[in-house]
Structure 1
Amino acid sequence: MFQLFIHISDGKLHEVNTLDILPMEAGAFYVMDRGYLDFSRLHTISQHSAFFVIRGKSNLKFRRIYSHQIDRSTGLICDQSIMLTGFYQKKDYPDKLRRIKYYDEKTNRTFVFLSNNFSLPAITIAELYRLRWQVELFFKWIKQNLRIKTFYGTSENAVKAQIWIEVSVYLLVAIMKKRLKIEASLYTILQILSVTIFERMPLLQALTKEDYINKVEPKYKQLLLFD
């Protein structure tokens, strides 16, 4: 999974407000956690012919229109077409929604998903949300491997530029790993590149030499970039 859009802001900006600057692409899926649940903004996504998958809240007020057939062996509990009945909610989102309830056996947790897509199988909607975890792993990998020990500037632009460089390095290494079909981990690739960057050697040769070993990642302090 490669990130196509990233927005860097200070800690004062509420996460749901990022939906106002998110570029809308027709046919795209926007998968979000409950912190982004704002029905007026979700309706904007729908009006752009795009789709969303988001976790629902337990206090959601709705009226069931229709219940679709499900295969309970997959973990699905229900697949419903609904209309919102809350005073403000039904004004913000006047169209019908899809409500999917799913039990994840691995985590022993039950999830409720809301979506405006009615064509995909319900289990696919649940799987799309599970893939959202790859974004969490992306930031976890950056914090662990692309360490910023010192900021070289104190202005907003200087800090953002340094973070963007870190993100760009991740994407370049990830794309290279995929295209060259390199089995080594991203951390190992970074370590090899750090000691061979000035050597006159084909890139693939440097990344496949048996002389390089995957050293244990050292522990040292870094500045906190993400909560």
Structure 2
Amino acid sequence: MGRNPANGKRKGGIKSHQKLDMQAGIPVKVYHSNAREHDSLFIQKEGVMKKREVALFDKAYNNYAPFDQWNNEGIFFVTRLKNNAKEILLEEFELDQATPDNILRDAKIALKHKDDQGQEKQVKLRLVSFYHQEKNKTYYFLTNLFDLPAEQIAMLYKKRWEIELLFKKIKQNFPLQYFYGDNKNAIQIQIWCTLIALLLITIIKKKLTKSWSFSNLISLMQKHLFTYAKFTDFFNNVDFFAKEFVKNKGNPDDFQQKFDWS
């Protein structure tokens, strides 16, 4: 994060790793790391992964040693195979007639890794090849889910795009283009404040009976942070609120006496 300073001296960067609960639509685990730290360290943090969960993540997080451990612990995942991966074919699964044409291959493979003692081991995983017609590109999905149809593996990974939409929402609606401080603590405080605001506004949005886009809600909320009214009532009746406010000639005291929404 940040820009190149005029004096040519580059400052350290920060990565924000977030585990998104797809049902809630908000991050449930957040970890900030140095920009040079490998992404895969996040998925190895205690409490990040839980049994019977299905994690969807980019191939930058690939680490075969944790994958081997997850196989034994009942933790599932879908990711993409790295371009330089050297897989060992163990079994080629036959595609039945009901399989869509864009599923090119379904196989059981092994990938080598070293354990904590430096001993070479193999993790057994599933490889699904999917052809994207619009992009004219083949994607190789890596997973330990062997019971699901091959096409469902591809659909599961597609849901990973929701984390990209979350980061897009944060960048578009909150001031993270620039930081008010340049030390680690100041930057992390600003990111945490942004995530707290995201959580609170998401809760408010879910309680509203009137449909609001997130960006419109943020935009109007910024203009009425000091308006003395209950947020849910205000946003559910914003047109009525505006008319009554004009009738009272913009006097918030008269308006508050008439509508006790505190």
Provide TM-score, normalisation by structure 1: 0.79
Distance in 2, Cα, partners of 1:115 & 1:183? 38
* Aligned twin of 1:135: 163
More strand by percentage = 2
1:14 aligns with 2:42: no
Deviation at 1:68, TM superposition (A): 4.1
1:180 aligns with 2:199: no
* Aligned twin of 1:78: 105
Amino acid of the structure 2 residue aligned with 1:80: A
Secondary structure at the aligned position of 1:9 is classed as strand
Number of equivalent positions:
210
For structure 1, the residue ranges without an aligned partner over 5 or more in a row are: 213-227
CA distance 1:108–1:191, shift in 2 (3 Å): same
Provide TM-score, normalisation by structure 2: 0.69
Structure 1 stretches of 4+ moved >6 Å: none
Distance in 1, Cα, partners of 2:169 & 2:105? 35
Distance in 2, Cα, partners of 1:108 & 1:150? 38
Distance in 2, Cα, partners of 1:93 & 1:183? 51
Secondary structure at the aligned position of 1:4 is classed as strand
Secondary structure at the aligned position of 1:69 is classed as coil
CA distance 1:141–1:74, shift in 2 (3 Å): farther
- Judge conservation of contact 1:74–1:123 (CA < 8 Å) in 2: no
Superposition map of 1:1-227 within 5 A = 1-21=25-45, 23-58=48-83, 59-70=85-96, 71-73=98-100, 75-84=102-111, 86=112, 91-94=120-123, 96-148=124-176, 151-180=179-208, 182-208=210-236, 209-210=238-239
CA distance 1:150–1:83, shift in 2 (3 Å): closer
Amino acid of the structure 2 residue aligned with 1:93: Q
Secondary structure at the aligned position of 2:185 is classed as helix
CA distance 1:152–1:61, shift in 2 (3 Å): closer
Secondary structure at the aligned position of 1:103 is classed as strand
CA RMSD of aligned residues (A): 2.7
CA distance 1:149–1:63, shift in 2 (3 Å): closer
CA distance 1:107–1:180, shift in 2 (3 Å): farther
Distance in 2, Cα, partners of 1:194 & 1:79? 51
RCO (CA 8 Å, sep 6+): is it higher in 1 or 2?
A: 1
Secondary structure at the aligned position of 1:183 is classed as coil
Moved more, 145-154 or 44-53: 145-154
Larger Rg: 2
Moved more, 107-116 or 201-210: 201-210
